[in-house]
Structure 1
């Protein structure tokens, strides 16, 4: 389904599987919508608000989304590779098995969200805060986590490698259940 990209600034209560929202620069709100497999690739969506929506398996690759708020939404298996997601708020979202590799999430606040099995490898996470998040089996390979704050997060089984810089020592990482695939 193709939607006229320049004709709207909000999507409310839509059920449009596979919607093509590619290269959309006007979209500011997605609310109570069911948009699985939507294509939003290469869009500039600054100050976007996404709330109470289903965007499973959506394509947000190469998007520029700064200053946005994501709340109570489902992004399971959604792809955000090479996207700029800096200075955003993510509150009570599901990013289980989402692909966030090579994304920029600097200065973002991720709170009470599920990132179990998410791929964050080689992402820029400087000054990001993960608060009360499920990060079990999340992949942080190649990330510099030295300036990331983890507050009451479950990191059991999270993956790091020889290129990952931690905000704590390897002994602490081991106690938290983090898997180091680069060092033996």
Structure 2
């Protein structure tokens, strides 16, 4: 039996009074869904909620998150307890609708970036204008040469989805930026 280890377990920075906090996000089931946008209604019914039809769109509720990251590509997150049911439902969909659902839970980890200086912290290492990113949107981007999926969940609340193999690098980069912000550097 394979044992799982969250690479960022037991980490958090800094405290409740900080202008920006980072913390690991609880593990979840993560999938990449590729499907013709004309069949989005069928995939939405299997997912249990409407999938966003436009690139950058993000829909969340009941512990599930779905963001459109390409013309025919969605990044899906759900509680681990729902993973088998989601896989079974999409497997049944193969009978009528061509698609690809790939479990990427083993390769991804989430980092929450929260607080009034969250935009500043992310802007320090991401090339596009983070402040212009609408609340309730998501995109695939680069942070210090590392591919991530960035979700803007609230005005001062972001979620960075990064490969496990790069999670220490991204964590340490964000931790350093947080320290600089707290010191006013």
- TM-score class, shorter-chain normalisation, is under 0.3
More helix by share: 2
Structure with the larger RCO, 1 or 2 (CA within 8 Å, 6+ apart): 2
